[in-house]
Amino acid sequence: MGGGPVREDEGTAARILDAAERLVQVRGFNGFSYADIAGELGITKAALHYHFAGKADLGLALIGRYASRFAEALAAIDAAGAGALRPAQRLAEYAALYLGVIQDGRMCLCGMLAAEYPTLPPPMREAVAGFFDENEAWLEKVLAEGRADGSLRFPGTARESARMVIAALEGAMLTARPYSDAERFRAVAASILAGLAPDAAAERSPA
């Protein structure tokens, strides 16, 4: 899901999305301009407006593509090992997804947008909330399954712990920013997983 250029014959719209995605993840939605993207791609601001009429349209497309990729990655985890991955392993894969996001000084697109939430156009707000809802639903399912088979232990409901996991991983990305240190994120992620699966010491590395 990390984003980044995919192929060389990628269309202009996709290249705009790639550059904008990186800029939002690094500098925030209020921290970049059409001029930044135009300069990076070697086109003019006017050309950008042809592909995405306004910044709000661009932002909405950004979230849609990002959420789709994330959903595909979650489906891939469910399908891995012919659907035989144990809950703790799926959690580790989930954390590994986040590890792939933070490269190059980025943080989660929707985590960044959550910080800027009050300044976002309403359509973007709804899309951001939807992203978190989907992650929460997937994690709740995994956690409930892990509790049922005894491989995961946590207090309260599976939904509450799902929210805790998302909060901790997003917060780990956020608080790692001042230190430009991916290892710092990895250690925090490992600490979270270890707290949920105290028995499975060998399963907890998200790398």
Residue with tokens 């497309």: 61
The Cα 45–Cα 20 span in angstroms is: 13
Please identify, using beta-carbon distances, which residue of 50 and 179 lies nearer to DNA: 50
189 in helix, strand or coil?
Answer: helix
Other CB atoms within 10 A of residue 64 CB: 14
- The site string for DNA over 47-86 (x = CB under 7 A, - otherwise) reads x-xxx-xxxx------------------------------
- Under the binding rule (CB under 8 A), the answer on residue 174 touching a second copy is yes
Q: Interior CA angle at 23 toward 22 and 25, to 5°?
A: 65
Report the distance separating Cα 108 and Cα 18, nearest Å: 14
Give the three-class secondary structure for 42: coil
Query: x/- string (CB under 8 A) for a second copy, residues 112-141?
Result: x-xxxxxx-----x--xx--x---------
Contact 124, 59 (CB under 8 A): yes
51 binds, among DNA, a second copy, none (CB under 5 to 8 A by kind): DNA
Site for a second copy in 49-108 (CB under 8 A): 105, 107
73 binds, among DNA, a second copy, none (CB under 5 to 8 A by kind): none
Cα–Cα nearest to 6, from 26, 23, 21:
21
Among a second copy, DNA, none, what binds residue 123 when CB lies within 5 to 8 Å by partner kind? none
Q: Structure tokens of 189?
A: 């992620």
The minimum distance between CB 90 and a second copy, in angstroms, equals: 19
Contact of 22 with 3, CB cutoff 8 Å: yes
Interface positions with a second copy (CB under 8 A):
26-28, 30-31, 105, 107, 111-112, 114-119, 125, 128-129, 132, 154-156, 160-161, 163-164, 166-172, 174-179, 184, 187-188, 190-192, 194-196, 198, 201
Binding region for DNA (CB under 7 A): 1-2, 12, 32-36, 42-47, 49-51, 53-56
